Each structure stands twice: as C-alpha cells, then as structure tokens.
Amino acid sequence: MAKAIQLAVLKVLMIIIFAGWIAVWIQKPTNMWTRKWKGAEDSSRYTVFGYYGLNFAVYTFPLISLTIIGLVYLNLVSKEPPRSRPARSATIGFSNPVLVNSFLGILSSIEILAVFLFVLFLAWTYYARISNDFKKLMPVKSLNLDLWQLRYLRVATRFGLLAEACLALLLLPILRGLALFQILGIQFEASVRYHIWLGTSMILFATIHGASTLFIWGVSHHIQDEMWRWQKTGRIYLAGEIALVTGLVIWITSLPQIRRRRFEIFYYTHHLYIVFLIFFLFHAGDRHFYSVFAGIFLFGLDKLLRIVQSRPETCVLSARIFLLPGKAIELTLPKDPRLKYTPTSVIYMKIPSISKFQWHPFSITSSSNLDDHTMSVVVKCNGGWTRTFYDVIQAELDSDPGSMSCMPVSVEGPYGPASLDFLRHDSLLMIAGGAGITPFLSILKEIASVNSSRYRFPTQVQLIYVVKKSQDICLLNSVSSLLLNQSSTQLSLKLKVYVTQEETSDATVRGLVNDLSLVRTVNFSTECSNYAVHGPESPIWMAAMAALSSIKFMVSLICFNHIFLPHEKKSAVTEKILPSEKKAAKEKTPSSVVDLLLLASFIIALACNAFLASILRWKRLKKDIRPLSPKHGKATEHGSVETGSPVEEHELHFGGRPDFQDIFSEFPNETGGSDIGVLVCGPVSMKESVASLCQLKSQGLNIGSRGKKTYFSFHSLNFTL
C-alpha cells in the first residue's frame, strides 16, 4: 500500500513538472514573458547564481528533475511483485494503430495527438514572434535593407527558433540508461523514429533560416562582409554557418539509402554532432543554449555512463554456427547471476578485433530465468560488419579447430521494457518475418520457464513465421525443444511456417527442424578476461548520478564566472549609479568567452561523474569477480533433436504468404481467448498489413468464440541482428 502511494505521488510530481516546463515554452514567445524575464534576469544578475542560474533552473533543470524522479519511479516499479493479468482497460485502444501509412508508419492515437500538439506549438511560437516583429520593425545598423528585405530577414530569423524547439527534444528519444520514454513504456528502438522526425524538422527549419539569411545578404550586396564575421558579441554568423553545414552532412548520411548500404559512413559522420552543438552554442549564445541544454546534458551523461558500464571487456564463451548458406551465429556470453532482464531486451556489442569504435545492437534470445550464468544473441550475417565477424570465426576454425583463442567483446546493456504488460493477455498471436523471429525466441523461453502461480502469462500461443527459404527456419533451433516436445511445459504453442519462395514439398516442421539443426559449436578460450556482463546500474544509482552532475555543473559555472568575469560581482547600487560603466564593462566580455565557460563547466561536471562512476564500477567488479569456467574442447557438430511426441501439430505452407484475415478470424475460435495480444516483428510492409487489420478489427464488433467480443491489442516489436 505504501509503495502504491509513493508511485502515485511520483506520477503526480512528474505531471506537474512536465506541465510547468511546457507552460514556460508556451509563454516564452509572448511580450509579457519577455518583459518579466528581462526583469528577472536583471534581478538575479548580481546574486551568487547570476542570470545563468535562473536560465538553468527554468529551462534546463525541469527535464533533469523529471528524469531523476522518473528513474526513482522505475526503481520502485522494478521491485514490485509480479502482477496478475490486469482487466482490460477502456483506454487500451489508445495503444492500437489509428493511422497506417507507408510514409509515416504506424501511429497510435496518442502519437497523433502528440504530433498535432507539437505542430500547433510550433505554429503558435512562430505566429507570436513574427507578429511582434512586424509591429516594431527595427532597421539593421550594418545593413541598408528595403522594407520587404527587412520583413523577410525577420521571417528567416524566426525559423531559427523553430529549429531550436526541435533541438530541445532531439536527443531525448535516444537516451538509453536515462531514458525518459521508458516511463511511458516506449523502448529505445521504437523511439528512434521520433529522433528522426525531430532531426529532419530541425534541419528543414535551420536550412530555411540559413538560406534565407544568405539570400538577404546577397540581394543587399553584403554577403562577403556578413558571412565571414565572428563578432565579439551577439550572434556569431560564421559559427551558425558551420553548424548548419555540419547538420546537413549528418542528415544526408542518415538517409535510409546511405544508412542501410554504408552503415560505417552513417555511424562515423553522426559523431559530428559534437561539432554541431559547439558551434550552435557560439552562434545562438548561452541564453538560447539553456533552452536546449537539458537534452544535451542528459545525453552527455548517459553516453559517459554507458562507456563506463561497458568496461572492462568480457569474452565470448562459445559460438554455434549454423551450417547453412544463411550464415547465422548464436553467441553465448557470460553474465552475472544477479543480472535479470526482460524478454525482447537488447544489448550493444563492440568486438575490438573487428572494429575498435563500432557498436552494433543485438536482440537477446535467452531467458534470464533459465540461464543464470550466460546470455545468448543471434548474429545474422547480412551487413559488412557481421560478415567480417563470421569470416573471422570461420578462418580461425579452419586454421586450428581444437584451440580457439580468446575473443574480447565489450557489452552495453541489456536494455528492455520495464513492464511485461504487453504479454499479459488471454492468448498471444505472434507474427514474425525472417530475422524478426529473434525477440520471440526470448518471449517463448520466458513464458515456458515461469511459474504460472506467480505470473499470469498466456498459455495459448500461436506463432506465424514467414521466411523466404526453408533453411531460414534454422533460427528456431534454440526453441526446438519447445516446438517438438511441449508435454514438459504448460505452454500450448502452435507454429505456422510460410515459405514464400519455394514450391510445394512433403516436408513437415518436425522434419525441417531436425534436418536444419546441424550446427557447429565452438568453445573459446577465456584467458583474456574473467569478467561477466553485469548490466547497467540500478535506476536509483543513475538518478543519483544525474543529480550530482547538475550540482557539479552549477558549482563549476558559478566559480568560473566569478573568476573570469569579475565585473558581474558589482552591486545593484553600482548599477543604478553608473549605468554607462556597467554597459562598457559588459561589452568588454566577448560572448564566446561566456559560451566557453559554460562548455568548460559541462565538461568538468561530466568528467567528475565519469571518474566517480569508474571507481565505483571497478570496486564492484573486483568484489564480485568470479572465474569463468566454460567447457573447453574441439569444435563439435550437433545433429537432429530427438523428441517424444509423434503428433505433428504445426503447419508448413509453401509458395505463398499468409492470409492474415483468415488467421485473425480463426484464432479466437482456436484459443477461446477474448483479449488477444498481437505481436509483430519483421519487415515494415508486414507490420503495416497486420496493423491495418488490427485497426479494422478494433473499429468493428469482432465476435469470437462462444459469441464473446474479441479485442486485439497491437504491439510492434523491433529486432536487431
């Protein structure tokens, strides 16, 4: 009861803080806010915190405090006992697809509402700013502009504020350890598309802002004088141009055509965000930078804590190579027995022998309830990095299969959903396409391993698996015992396989699983590392680090400003008596110096926290270190899986795709469930087809078995290989 009250209080507190932060952004473009804000800055200028303390408290700290409270909330949720399956809520439809579009993707009603409100906010901000500008147009001293040119210059300037609003949210969706979106049940892989939308919008507005400004300079014959200026105070135009060019390079190399075919180019150019943010600071100034600083602050802290977490390196225990043209490998890694993760969790791996910088995500296919000391992932060799990895293992196998050298690997994560509510339905219909089967492997193992008296997972599960070639079924190898011998578990699992690019055959699922279960297991040496994967620190630990970083940043900034900007310590009385002296002193300090002090404070705060986190991490690892003792031996080959039940309950179809309309109609009668969870993972076209069907089902009265209404709850999963 006490924990429920604590959770309720934290929820209310987060709502109040978020509403207050939104209210600030809504009032920001108004004349009333501008007048009061200038007065508040003047009043705080000669306090110990200065005007920068006020900017940090109003614009930056609300999101940081929201993250801290959210992490405390997630820590309490993770310690809650497993809940029974909740009654179907009247609001469950908000998570179901409302709009299915090949360009926008699959959107729920909440996502559509959020996008609409954000667009409305951008429109309001632009209207409020530009209407005030047109009422009191002031000529630019350095430019001799006509009225239309002056108006157009103001239009271009205000587009820069829209880019600033997008930048304020840009980095929040890609946080992992300090993930704000996890509070809403949105995982990193799903929230990346919000990052893409915000980034595209930001670049669009910034390009209009920059190109229009250059156009006005060109028509007024001042382009040579203005575009190379690095002013002592005010907007630094050259810095803005560098930031815009850098942002365009990042955006262009992020396009799907480049990202999918030349991932290395996308990966390395994306690190130019550091250049972009630094020159944005010099261009916009520290006051504007505080408006977007929360996301940058959290991202920098999140990045450093993830680097600390991935140290030291662990090692690969074994690899199971599927002896098929598809080239797939199942890797086994050591983990701490206390590390627990949820199904569909993802880890990020870096193998220094292949690349010292590249990190790649992989879906975990094992269950922490079944495997206390190991975790496994499947690597499908499609891209350049994965093919190189396969070739390295194959080359070492061919050279000396009896003695495999140690393979160091850095691991970050696992990251997974905080709640398993997406599995708490009467029955599950899981639809996978190709490599999209990987998240379902961990789900099936989790459902089969839990005690039904403690967990209320569904026992009726149907898996629809669509592949191009029958050899792709080899990815089911790790759950072959569940498929072929279900008598030992309470799980009732029915598999329907659709092979789209092969003709009709007399083969059965049992026969294919046995025929394609030939794998080669390779054990690696563990001499290079005795460390297991410990996973990320607890949410309460992360919250403490975020709070400490905020304090260190403000302390550093206050010290730097009082040391390097001594004129700021003048009293308010002096300000009234000598206003001209104050103005002269203010003009002596270049704006870039103030920006550098902010940047230095940020770096010091993060560096101190990274150092502290490293010490605590090493102490924990030294205390908990356990020797790794995998079974060593030569590479071995495993043949078919022997099972007991001779009855073939699964279906195998050749030469066509599944008819989802028939599947959705038959499934309620086959399982008898009224609340059905539909989980889909695979190609975008498959997700859109299933989402459209769920949308139609939710709009009409769908009558299932025994005349009961049947509700389909749609859940889109993401896989990484």
Pair of tokens at residue 419: 């709640």
Q: What is the dihedral of CA 585, 588, 592, 594, to 10 degrees?
A: -30
Packed helices 539-564 and 61-78: angle between N→C axes, nearest 10 degrees:
160
Pair of tokens at residue 555: 């302390």
* C-alpha distance across the termini of the chain, in Å: 42
Report the C-alpha gap between 336 and 625 in whole angstroms: 9
* Upper half-sphere CA count for residue 568 (Cβ side, 13 Å): 22
The answer on pLDDT for 87 being more than 70 is no
With the C-alpha atoms ordered 369, 371, 373, 377, is the resulting torsion angle positive or negative? negative
Pair of tokens at residue 683: 């190609």
3-state secondary structure 594-639: HHHHHHHHHHHHHHHHHHHHHHHHHHHHHHHCCCCCCCCCCCEEEC
Residue 632's pLDDT is: 44
**Which amino acid appears at position 67 of this protein?**
T
Which residues, 6+ apart, have CB-to-CB distance to 121 below 8 Å? Answer: 25, 26, 165
* Upper half-sphere CA count for residue 88 (Cβ side, 13 Å): 15
- Locate tokens 């975790």: which residue? 375
The answer on pLDDT for 89 being more than 60 is no
- DSSP 8-state code for residue 708: -
**Helix (H/G/I), strand (E/B), else coil: 701:** coil
DSSP string, 564-576: H-GGGG--HHHHH
Report the C-alpha gap between 380 and 330 in whole angstroms: 9
Mean predicted confidence (pLDDT) in 482-496:
72
3-state secondary structure 370-399: CCCCEEEEEEECCCHHHHHHHHHHHHHHHH
Q: How far is CA 412 from the centre of its chain?
A: 13
Q: For the segment 403-419, what is each residue's pLDDT rounded down to a tens digit?
A: 677 888 999 988 888 77
3-state secondary structure 292-325: HHHHHHHHHHHHHHHHHHCCCCEECCEEEEECCC
Query: pTM above the 0.85 mark?
Result: yes
Mean predicted confidence (pLDDT) in 79-106:
61
Report the C-alpha gap between 294 and 391 in whole angstroms: 43
Choose between 584 and 513: higher pLDDT. 513
- List the single range of 151-165, 342-356, 441-455, 617-631 with lowest mean pLDDT: 617-631
- Locate tokens 């304090």: which residue? 551
Confidence grade of residue 577 (pLDDT, cut at 50, 70, 90): very low
Q: What is the dihedral of CA 243, 249, 254, 258, to 10 degrees?
A: 180
| Bridge pairing between strands 427-433 and 460-467 | parallel
Pair of tokens at residue 682: 């695979």
Choose between 338 and 553: higher pLDDT. 553
Pair of tokens at residue 532: 């297991």
285: left (phi over 0), alpha (psi -120 to 50) or beta: left
Which residues, 6+ apart, have CB-to-CB distance to 353 below 8 Å? Answer: 392, 407, 408
Q: Could you count the other beta carbons within 10 Å of the beta carbon of residue 295?
A: 22
Report the C-alpha gap between 233 and 592 in whole angstroms: 7
Longest CA–CA separation in the chain, Å: 98
Q: For the segment 276-309, what is each residue's pLDDT rounded down to a tens digit?
A: 999 999 999 899 999 999 999 999 999 999 998 8
Task: Judge contact between 437 and 380, C-beta under 8 A.
Answer: no
Report the C-alpha gap between 169 and 273 in whole angstroms: 15
Mean of the per-residue pLDDT values for the chain?
Answer: 81
Residue 289's pLDDT is: 93
Report the C-alpha gap between 170 and 324 in whole angstroms: 42
Residue 198's pLDDT is: 95
Helices and strands (DSSP H and E) totals, the chain: 23, 17
Choose between 114 and 628: higher pLDDT. 114
Which parts of 414-538 fold into alpha helices (H)? 438-449, 480-484, 509-515
| Bridge pairing between strands 408-415 and 105-108 | unpaired
Q: For the segment 674-690, what is each residue's pLDDT rounded down to a tens digit?
A: 778 888 888 888 888 88
Residue 356's pLDDT is: 84
Mean predicted confidence (pLDDT) in 411-431:
82
Cα–Cα nearest to 422, from 539, 494, 343: 343
Confidence grade of residue 26 (pLDDT, cut at 50, 70, 90): very high
Which H/E stretch holds residue 668? Answer: helix 660-671
Cα–Cα nearest to 611, from 299, 311, 298: 311
Pair of tokens at residue 510: 């049992």
Report the C-alpha gap between 434 and 49 in whole angstroms: 57
**Which amino acid appears at position 623 of this protein?**
K
DSSP string, 522-586: EEBP-TT----B--SPPHHHHHHHHHHHHHHHHHHHHHHHHHH-GGGG--HHHHHH-HHHHHHHH
Which residues, 6+ apart, have CB-to-CB distance to 378 below 8 Å? Answer: 328, 329, 330, 331, 362, 363, 365, 435, 438, 441, 475, 478, 721
Pair of tokens at residue 717: 């999963």
Task: Judge contact between 368 and 345, C-beta under 8 A.
Answer: no
The answer on pLDDT for 708 being more than 50 is yes
- List the single range of 27-31, 509-513, 569-573 with lowest mean pLDDT: 569-573
- Taking CA atoms, 276 is separated from 227, 248, 249, 283, 681, in Å, by 17, 10, 10, 10, 35
- List the single range of 57-61, 549-553, 709-713 with lowest mean pLDDT: 709-713
Residue 574's pLDDT is: 45
The answer on pLDDT for 474 being more than 50 is yes
